[in-house]
Amino acid sequence: MHEDLVLRPDRRKGLMYLCAAAALSVAVVASAAVGAGGAAALAAAVPFGAMLAFGAGHIHRDRVVLTEQEVVTRGLVLQRRRARSRVAEVVRATLVAHRGSPGDTLFLLDARRAVLFRLPAAPTPAVKSTGW
């Protein structure tokens, strides 16, 4: 029996973005406190706090799990499952966003070449990997 292969995004990169967002949030809330008072600072702090909590939860929960029977993508809120037997082909492509840097993406396709999953192929360390 094989164990599951669990792939997670690089947490250091996610934490870097989260720290940048936290610094921006502090600057905006402090600016609101100085310019408009405590009520405005509180009104600014609530959505920024929710955004930071959502980002931290996403960094913690985001993963792709490959089992013998299925492929599962898990996020903070959503979870998608597809039978592994439906995956007929894996295509790796380099996509370039408008004015952005190129990024590798994996497409898992079924027998009719319909996309089952689109996964960013950024450096993703395997957490548990045996037998695959």
- Could you give the CA distance from residue 118 to residue 105 in angstroms, rounded to a whole number? 7
What pLDDT, on a 0 to 100 scale, did the predictor assign at position 130?
44
Q: How many domains are there within the chain? A: 1
pLDDT under 50: residue ranges of the chain: 129-132
What is the length of the chain?
132
pTM exceeds cut of 0.75: no
Report yes or no on 49 lying in a domain.
yes
What b/e string do you get for 38-53 counting C-beta neighbours within 10 Å, with b at 16 or more? eeebeebbeebeeeee
Residue 88 sits in which domain range?
5-120
User: Cα(first)–Cα(last) distance of the chain, in Å?
Assistant: 11
Specify if 129 maps to a domain. Answer: no
